Structure 1
Amino acid sequence: MTLPPTRIGRSIYLQLCPRIQSTFAYKGIIQPPNRSMASSAKASSRLLDVKDSEWKPAFIYGTAWKKERTAELVKLAVQNGYRSIDTAAQPKHYQEDLVGDALREVYAQNVVARKDLYVQTKYTTPAGQDPSNMPYDASAPLEDQIHTSVASSLKNLRPSPSSEEDSYVDALLLHSPLPTVEQTLQAWSILESYVPGKIRSLGISNVTLPVLKSIYENSTVKPSVVQNRFYPQTRYDGLLRAFCSQHGITYQSFWTLTGNPRLLKSEPVVQLSNDVGVSNEAALYALVMDQGIVVLNGTTSVKHMEDDASGIRKVREWAQSNDREWSAIVEAFGRAISSNLV
């Protein structure tokens, strides 16, 4: 039975950004959206009846702050079902080279093929770098900084030691806007020259709605990804997420747990947790994904990797059999984050 797309979040699955899908079909990680939903912010999620064989939780593994454990944890994440990886050319917080080491190992072991992984990285401005350990010369012109950073990322993330010429990333994000909108647009224009060859799509992190609109209105290659904090201080990015939904931009959340201690204990989250028999964390992840959001998950625990995925799967199975109760919880959660009641 096909459920009508009448509410935000009728699914634990996310709506795929059409722009990314058209380029590389998102590696089979997520399914193409219902085209009739693309222009409606009120119908931004996938339906609950996505085939079980095709369904996956909408997680992307975050590699920040993993330090010397980066390679080990990336391999564990891939071995435990993650098919999306986030990193950055920012040695201060990320070990992009170790991410590449881990990915080459899982490719060589036939755990997964490069074509079946989504890998995104970032260009970080000098303000976000450790001056003693940078991937480019901070005194160089912006264009040179970006070209050097991209070259470093492509080398780090190459699929095999001898395949640098075949290296590409599925998305490259500006880690933040630059000091002015004009500089941000300049950086974006430089990155556009790599699309769709070495970089398949572009995005931006830590962005406000006015800046995102400026990029969208003034770019040739439109943003495909926004990665922001999902927390009450920004009113959960309600207006920005609506803009993303209306323009086919995938919204990725970080600080989903750590930035939301009250939301984690809110009535709809606790009710879902109790009704299904899963942790509050899994219930919150499920409800956030149900808003059409891809969640960054940077856990260092294999048990949490397994529990998060199995918990969301249990929520999905329960929701398929308890549509009325599920819809009520979804609507209560939507009211809570839209009115900042938590």
Structure 2
Amino acid sequence: MASSASSRLLAEGEDWDPAFIYGTAWKKERTRELVKLAVEKGFRSVDTAAQPKHYQEALVGEALRELYQDQHGKVSRGNIYLQTKYTTPAGQDLNNMPYDASAPLETQIRTSVASSLRNLRPLEDTEDSSYVDCLLLHSPLPTTEQTIEAWKILESYIPDKIRTLGISNVTLPILKAIYENSTIKPSVVQNRFYPQTRYDISLRAFCNQHDISYQSFWTLTGNPRLLKSDPVTRLVNAVGVSRSIALYALVMDQGIIVLNGTTSVEHMDEDFDGIRKIREWALGHAKEWQEVVGVFKSSVQSTGL
């Protein structure tokens, strides 16, 4: 999914879709309903985790199985990108978690992965065909050595039950350590995109160099100043979209996959339509688009906003 094109938003062909992945955190009992709506509205990538504290992974699986049945081939397991996570005990509710926190690390991971494969199985009555497109370490473990140990355990599932591996909430030194000490290289990084991390400029450069997709979360809530910035304002005025959609488009143009966890059907429609509207405008106003993109990129790199 990574690209070196000068304008990522304009680089793809006619079948281009906005670079969104549907985030299922904090949806609670509405998870099943919202995942079904999201896929029906156009999302083809879904993010979850084996972390009952914040995610209802089993309900994600229920929603997807219903869609595979109900859509008569329109939505199948093969055209859904599905990723989940192993979350360490530090990120779990110790009274409600998918493994025994006192168990050895390998047992924790294998129990967590087994629960995810069961929850996300495409067929109701068997887990034989179950797999995930990517499994992320939800965060690095307490030491780099433990993080690499966990990574190597996950490598044993490639390519049958897990297609690719990734990591969330990671710094560049730890990402480099994983890359240098792994057989299966990272395919995905999922981090907060906000000024406190200087927008991960160096880390994203490493990702681009090594064909690692960068996924952003807190894209809106972590960036109140970017939402009011001049590049966003120029797009709002030129295209007639909301500030959130304008910011999404500018972030996507940096080669970033955006986690979008909206619970509003209206916003689902508006987000997809708005990004496509910006793309159409940009195709017809290449000079203005490149000016806006240039200012945005400079402002992010300076972290002065």
TM-score normalized by the length of structure 2: 0.98
Q: Which residue of the partner structure matches residue 317 of structure 1?
A: 280
1:340 and 1:49 map into 2 onto residues whose CA distance is 26
Q: Which residue of the partner structure matches residue 8 of structure 2?
A: 46
How far 1:341 sits from its partner (Å)? Answer: 1.6
How far 1:51 sits from its partner (Å)? Answer: 2.7
Output the amino acid matched with 1:138: A
Aligned to 1:311, the other structure's residue is in SS state helix
Q: Given the alignment of the two structures, is residue 65 of structure 1 paired with residue 26 of structure 2, yes or no?
A: yes
Q: Deviations over 1:149-180 (max 9, x none)?
A: 00000000000112301100000000000000
Output the amino acid matched with 1:169: V
Query: Measured at CA, do residues 317 and 334 of structure 1 come closer, stay the same or move farther in structure 2, by a change above 3 Å?
Result: same
Q: Structure 1 stretches of 5 or more lacking a match?
A: 1-15, 18-32, 38-42
1:310 and 1:171 map into 2 onto residues whose CA distance is 27
Q: Which residue of the partner structure matches residue 297 of structure 1?
A: 260
Q: Which residue of the partner structure matches residue 76 of structure 1?
A: 37
Q: Deviations over 1:283-317 (max 9, x none)?
A: 00000000000000000000000001111101000
Q: Which residue of the partner structure matches residue 87 of structure 2?
A: 124
Q: Which residue of the partner structure matches residue 97 of structure 1?
A: 58
- Greater mean alpha carbon deviation, residues 270-279 or residues 296-305: 270-279
| Contact 1:44-1:245 within 8 A present in 2 as well | no
Q: In structure 2, which of residues 293, 297, 304 is the aligned counterpart of residue 334 of structure 1?
A: 297
Q: In structure 2, which of residues 127, 131, 138 is the aligned counterpart of residue 168 of structure 1?
A: 131
1:44 and 1:199 map into 2 onto residues whose CA distance is 32
- Greater mean alpha carbon deviation, residues 43-52 or residues 205-214: 43-52
TM-score normalized by the length of structure 1: 0.87
Q: Which residue of the partner structure matches residue 268 of structure 1?
A: 231
1:138 and 1:48 map into 2 onto residues whose CA distance is 47
What is the percentage of aligned positions where both structures have the same residue?
Answer: 71
Q: Which residue of the partner structure matches residue 29 of structure 1?
A: none
Q: Which residue of the partner structure matches residue 55 of structure 1?
A: 16
Q: In structure 2, which of residues 145, 150, 153 is the aligned counterpart of residue 190 of structure 1?
A: 153
1:316 and 1:46 map into 2 onto residues whose CA distance is 10
Output the amino acid matched with 1:77: A
| Contact 1:264-1:281 within 8 A present in 2 as well | yes
Aligned to 1:171, the other structure's residue is in SS state strand
Q: How many residues get paired?
A: 303
How far 1:49 sits from its partner (Å)? Answer: 5.4
| Contact 2:26-2:55 within 8 A present in 1 as well | yes
Q: Which residue of the partner structure matches residue 22 of structure 1?
A: none
1:188 and 1:55 map into 2 onto residues whose CA distance is 33
Query: Measured at CA, do residues 160 and 283 of structure 1 come closer, stay the same or move farther in structure 2, by a change above 3 Å?
Result: same
2:289 and 2:95 map into 1 onto residues whose CA distance is 51
| Contact 2:50-2:112 within 8 A present in 1 as well | yes
1:231 and 1:279 map into 2 onto residues whose CA distance is 20
1:322 and 1:148 map into 2 onto residues whose CA distance is 52
How far 1:44 sits from its partner (Å)? Answer: 6.4
1:293 and 1:198 map into 2 onto residues whose CA distance is 26
Moved beyond 4 Å, runs of 4+:
none
Output the amino acid matched with 1:73: L
| Contact 1:192-1:221 within 8 A present in 2 as well | yes
Aligned to 1:296, the other structure's residue is in SS state strand
Output the amino acid matched with 2:215: Q
| Contact 2:219-2:258 within 8 A present in 1 as well | yes
